[in-house]
Structure 1
């Protein structure tokens, strides 16, 4: 097709979209989504009889989140399990993270007699073996004595994953009795101890000798565990390795020339990308403006808006990254200035670049956060930008109330996420966040699709704040190849050296990954729904709203035309 004809076709599609808006059909939430056949959920049972049940609950939630790649998962405390329930579910994952807890006889009897696939973590395995007649003959192994020797790595599918010193000592022993019936999936290894089985599989029964959720990092044995979960939950799934790149922290103060340069570089590489955008710049104390309080929005910076449209036309997906990426309530933790501070949770800093979470902010409540998000979305509308469907929380931290507001406004989160004990029961321990990242898209226990970011960012001069070398990012990407259907996902701040960006993109591609868009990744969980529409007073589309829609569509046509013209010159 010739470029001119393509432009005409694209513009015609935009006019059709405008007609749908005017007809009142554009908020397509009323349209039925494709119906997915109902399937039995996974059952995740965690042992709540140990020393700290809130932590056991979080580990159950983490397991359910990983299984959320393949269907719904119900999280249940062991004390609430009832005889016969297991047969109502497609498979069981048992999280035995508490050393001093023991599974009930009713539960053990059901597991021993069931034909459902089982994933069993760490403790309680001796009791299960005792309750299962002929356990060793059936599975080809049996539990052995606890081994307290230090093992600092987990070897899985030819790659080594870390076990931090704090969790490197002590594992339940596994004695293989019949190698024909059991496969050793992974081993725990250390400089002063022989390798010992870390994970084994006998048919559809998989046992992992620890609950690998403490001290998570990009190269941790958690990655190997997530890969095991994937192969257990979906044994026949595809082998594919995809990648994501995100341009980070673009606000109204960003340099539009540099933004266009980044778009050109990634377009030349044929790489789709995302751009996280906060819509309002705030410096309420005048820290960087000679003591004069400063505030402006995207609408006040038309060149930045044009650069964002250019990025979108070059293969970029715009992602909302908070409203102001700070709060006026307090230094959070630095200077109340947009781009550096937290917005949805309080934080402090010991002064070396590190940041520590400090609980909810004052006036924390879902209604207040919804109002803040809506204020930001209104800025997007006034600037003539399309409403974003994806959200990335500044610094990956929010309170339970803030997360509830985010879920209410956005169908997809593109980030790492915090979860709180008691949240599912409506009584969250709001000062006890537990952090989880994913090597593949999931639908988490909150019901939202989470697109992964699992490699961090190349920024070797910011090591105290989590920055990494390009080589370290690529090393993590290489390890993630053990995930059969996994992602290598990283981000790059727009103001940093673009050579870091290109070196990382090219290195990941050289490992065999294919870059895709964040929306394509989210589509693994089904068709992406439209973002919820906030109804304003009056109900209908105002004249200003109509003009904003028309301006946005016309600008989109121009941007898409430029995109096609550039492609024709390649």
Structure 2
């Protein structure tokens, strides 16, 4: 009886322990979630009358998106005190000297959260920034994390606002130029930070990315994730090379990505080629998908107007350097400004019509791409815009279909060449919930030092504790380059990203794709898919007819073999019978 009593007590103790542990774990999860929710960033900028300041705020959004997606971007003249109060962190950016409104200064004086000032006008931001006094502009061509000589990096000359800092301040980043001494580049005093320059992109961005961990008081694990992406795989790609690469990466146990273009359009005759036209290539892609690869949708045709697939752009009119606001048949496009309209309302209606056209165009392309690949049994888990070119509205449209984007990011709606590289994975506000897995080290080309330059960029990523090392390779290049690249990358401490292991979702008409515990789960409405385009059911009919043909050929071949075997055996028996008759053994 006492044994049973003790046993009950032990069981009760275990139950209470499990409940307590579960409660503690749930509290930790809640606290972590609440901490993320509590991080609300307000980016304030002083406009200078062009697109460049918006570009800089978008870079900030990309850098901050590593820590939170709760970011609001506003020009300083539209900020209210309520916006300031809601923010846990305020970033103020100005690329040139200008006047900061007195009321904003007053709000900052009453604000007790974290403030980061970048660029000019820090002397107008109140008492909290009295620790930093800009003196004059100087040039720097080298920067490093303070007291970490191993991070020192030589760069092209940039402008630094030579700043006198008080003894109470801490220098986080330091800049220098030759023998001219050093300059404080990123300075901290309590909950206030000052960045004494205006450049935010590479090669400075990895350094900013690292110190932002201190700004957000976040201890991310020191590890370098990365990926290799095979680029521009379209229906005219060489299936033998594709299979050789697939087998090599499988043997090395390296997960990778395959950027796929479903349709190739010949530039001379506009003939369309699909993967269904090349069964060997389709089989190679399926082999890849089953053995370590994740499919990435890289546009639908990767071209616009008469350009060649893989070379042309798809979501940007390069000829007119503008988003796709018109059909490919419109060769002469007139760019209009607000001055061309009688009223602001008429101009806004015109702009909305442009955006509506672009939205419908991108939706149709992405939807068709997902559907066509899924119909073949290829399931894209991420999206990459051709040549990384896409408007800000384009990213929002892409987020309707994909939860993951790979590549670099266009930060201007006026110039496609305004592109930036982000050092780590991020979920910026502009991506509307999509996660960005950035490409950071470029690609192999015909230059003799291309691979070495990629490795140097990879080593530069080590400045960031969780910087990403990611690049791509075109399979049409010499295979010797591929082996050289893989050999060099394997020397680095890279944690290879497998898209199947993360949480990915893809949603298109009649197609849903998601990843669960390393597996791809697909839900396809076949009836809806087949009725949306007869080409989809046509692929399966063709496969069925081909299989039937092979069965018939196989059956016919088997019958032929039986007939020949019977003929040979009968012939032998006949000859033997005749021999016996001649010898008198028969009859």
Answer whether TM exceeds 0.5 for this pair: yes
After the TM superposition, which of the residue ranges 244-253 and 357-366 deviates more from structure 2?
357-366
Query: TM-score, normalized by length of structure 1?
Result: 0.73
1:82 is matched with 80
1:431–1:362 CA distance, 2 compared to 1 (3 A): farther
1:411 to 381, 403, 408: 403
Question: Which residue matches 1:124?
Answer: 121
SS in 1 for 2:58: helix
Q: Which residue of 2 aligns with 1:177?
A: 166
Quote the residue 2:136 is aligned against: 146
Deviation at 1:309, TM superposition (A): 1.0
* From 387, 397, 400, the counterpart of 2:389: 397
Q: What are the equivalent positions in structure 2 for 1:88-167 lying under 5 Å apart?
A: 88-97=86-95, 99-128=96-125, 131-132=126-127, 141-148=131-138, 150-156=139-145, 157=148, 158-165=150-157
Structure 1 residues 325, 486: CA separation in 2 closer, same or farther (over 3 Å shift)? same
How many Å separate the matches in 2 of 1:79 and 1:119?
18
Secondary structure, in 3 states, of the residue corresponding to 1:531? strand
Provide the residue aligned with 1:561 in structure 2.
none
Q: 1:542 offset after TM fit, Å? A: 1.6
Q: Which has the higher contact order (CA 8 A, sep 6+)?
A: 1
| CA distance in 1: counterparts of 2:488 and 2:188, whole angstroms | 34
Could you tell me how far apart the structure 1 residues matched to 2:310 and 2:102 are? 54
Partner of 2:579 in structure 1?
Answer: none
* Match of residue 64, structure 1, among 37, 57, 61: 61
Residue 86 of structure 1, CA deviation: 2.5
Identify the residue that residue 443 of structure 1 maps to in structure 2.
427
Q: 1:193-204 residue pairs with structure 2 within 5 A?
A: 193-204=180-191
> Per the alignment, in what secondary structure is the counterpart of residue 344 of structure 1?
coil
Q: Secondary structure at the match of 1:454?
A: coil
Q: CA deviation at 1:401?
A: 5.0
Matching of residues 261-410 of structure 1 within 5 Å: 261-286=244-269, 293-327=270-304, 329-330=305-306, 336-347=307-318, 357=321, 360=324, 362-363=326-327, 365-386=358-379, 388-410=380-402
C-alpha contact 2:408 2:419 (8 A) present in aligned 1:
yes
Residue pair 1:389, 1:412 contacting (<8 A) in 2 also: yes
**Aligned match of 2:462:** 481
1:221 to 204, 224, 234: 204
2:27 is aligned to none
Q: CA deviation at 1:397?
A: 0.6
Question: Structure 1 residues 431 and 96, CA, compared in 2 at 3 Å: closer, same or farther?
Answer: closer
Structure 1 residues 116 and 376, CA gap change in structure 2 (3 angstroms)? same
Partner of 1:22: none
Are 2:219 and 1:236 aligned? yes
Which of the two has higher C-alpha Rg?
A: 2
Aligned to 1:13: none
Report deviation, 1:199: 1.2
2:197 aligned with 1:210, yes or no?
Answer: yes
Question: Is contact 2:389-2:416 (8 Å) kept?
Answer: no
4+ residue segments displaced more than 4 Å = 35-38, 356-359, 429-433, 543-548
Query: What SS is found at the alignment partner of 2:124?
Result: helix
Q: Flag the structure with higher helix content.
A: 2
**SS at structure 1 position matched to 2:144:** strand
Counterpart Cα distance in 1 of 2:363 and 2:79: 36
Please point out which of 504, 507, 511 is paired with 1:532: 507
CA distance in 1 between counterparts of 2:529 and 2:393 reads: 32
Match of 2:352 in 1: none
Contact 1:42 1:93 in 2 (8 A): no
1:224 is displaced (CA, Å) by 1.4
Unaligned segments of structure 2, at least 5 residues: 1-31, 328-356, 512-523, 541-587
Give the count of matched residue pairs.
457
Distance in 2, matches of 1:544 and 1:92, equals 48
Q: Quote the RMSD (CA, aligned, Å).
A: 3.0
Unaligned runs of 5+ in 1: 1-34, 287-292, 331-335, 349-355, 421-428, 463-467, 552-570
